[in-house]
Amino acid sequence: MQRLHGGPDAQGVPRYDFSTNSNACGPCPWALAAVQQADASCYPDPGYRTLREQLAAFHGVLPQRVLLAGSASEFIFRITAWVAQQGERSGQGECAVWLPRHGYGDYALAAQAWALPVTTQPRDAQLLWCCDPSSPLGTCQDGLQGLAATPGVCVMDRAYEPLRLSGALALSDAQVDRVWQLWTPNKALGLTGVRAAYVIAPIKADDAVAALERLCVSWPVGAHGVALLQAWTLPEVQAWLADSQQTLQCWKTRQVGLCESLGWTCLPSDTNFFCVRPHAAGLGHLLDQLRGHGIKLRDTASFGLLGHVRLSVQPPLAQDALADAWQKVNERETP
């Protein structure tokens, strides 16, 4: 499986980038200042004690439940490796993985790396991947309560929870405490170039946490990542995020209306991104043509959703540029 991502490509940084889900109101000024002022002349504390305590207090959990990760993708591969090892040591043979119908490609790539089969039955899986709000759709994960109740290792990717503009997680606190929560605040803060993530382990998962720590490289998060995660817990940063959500909602309403005016079918979402069906022949070619006008959209074929593109919510200036470029491309393509 090819690794496909939004953002910069061989043509550089898109002038108007709808292809990543980064908060278009960002970067958050307090988080940016913290990253710029980080002391990169020395190693972080290898145990990340202060950072763990800050993140634990922010979420109201014990510090021993917090693990640091180089990124969401790093942890996806690490916990997949651990589950595969568990299967080998138990003598039960290969483990199976359950994947969302539409989801981030690294879930499947990690399973492929360890030659783990994919099952369509959650009860047969030793590792289950959830994402709520989901990507690329930006909606609630189907069957989330049932997935969280399975005996397997259930990981809930919460990358887009801070960018939820409507709706709510359909799990109780007790149900949330049964799953592994993967958090990546860099999207919400508009600083996706800073790679840092953390995980909240389920209650009474001390042995699993220790095993995952043994599989982790030294210093998975550098000084800039530490600064980002520490800033994430600050009240002023959370206040900025709340304000940005209101702005994003206004921009989203405008952007959905604009897309519909282009004849596109917009799918519902609860987030700062949504999927559309442009109803265009040769969609890939048209997206390439848009890229030549400085506009980048995310083809959702890599998520298993054909004939659609995912757009992050962008400011009105970018929205108008998209509409103008789409008109020019269609005029050029029309005989």
The pLDDT of residue 90: 55
The 3-class SS string of the chain reads CCCCCCCCECCECCCEECCCCCCCCCCCHHHHHHHHCCCCCCCCCCCCHHHHHHHHHHHCCCHHHEEEECCHHHHHHHHHHHHHHHHHHHCCCCCCEECCCCCCHHHHHHHHHCCCCECCCHHHCCEEEEECCCCCCCCCCCCHHHHHCCCCEEEEECCCHHHECCCCCCCCHHHHCCCEEEECCCCCCCCCCCCCEEEECCCCCHHHHHHHHHCCCCCCCCHHHHHHHHHHCCHHHHHHHHHHHHHHHHHHHHHHHHHHHCCCEECCCCECEEEEECCCCCHHHHHHHHHHCCEECEEHHHHCCCCCEEEECCCHHHHHHHHHHHHHHHHHHCC
- Residues above pLDDT 70, as percent of the chain: 95
Mean pLDDT score of the chain: 94
The pLDDT of residue 201: 98
Average pLDDT over every residue of 294-302: 93
Average pLDDT over every residue of 79-90: 84
Confidence class for position 331, pLDDT limits 50, 70, 90: confident
For the record, the structure tokens of 27 come out as: 């970067």
The pLDDT of residue 115: 94
The pLDDT of residue 279: 81
**May I ask the CATH architecture of the domain 29-234?**
3-Layer(aba) Sandwich (3.40)
Q: What is the pTM of this model?
A: 0.93
> Could you read off the pLDDT of 148-172 as tens digits, one per residue?
999 999 999 999 999 999 999 999 9
Using alpha carbons only, what angle is made at residue 29 by residues 25 and 35, rounded to the nearest 5 degrees? 120
The pLDDT of residue 129: 98
> Could you read off the pLDDT of 174-203 as tens digits, one per residue?
999 999 999 999 999 999 999 999 999 999
Average pLDDT over every residue of 272-279: 95
Locate tokens 């307090």: which residue? 30
> Could you read off the pLDDT of 114-140 as tens digits, one per residue?
999 999 999 999 999 999 999 999 999
The pLDDT of residue 3: 65
> Could you read off the pLDDT of 208-244 as tens digits, one per residue?
999 999 999 999 999 999 999 999 999 999 999 999 9
Please state, in angstroms and rounded to a whole number, the distance separating the CA atoms of residues 137 and 114.
Answer: 28
The pLDDT of residue 281: 78
Domain ranges for the chain: 16-22+237-333, 29-234
- Confidence check: pLDDT of 35 > 80: yes
The pLDDT of residue 284: 86
CATH number of the domain located at residue range(s) 16-22+237-333 in this protein: 3.90.1150.10
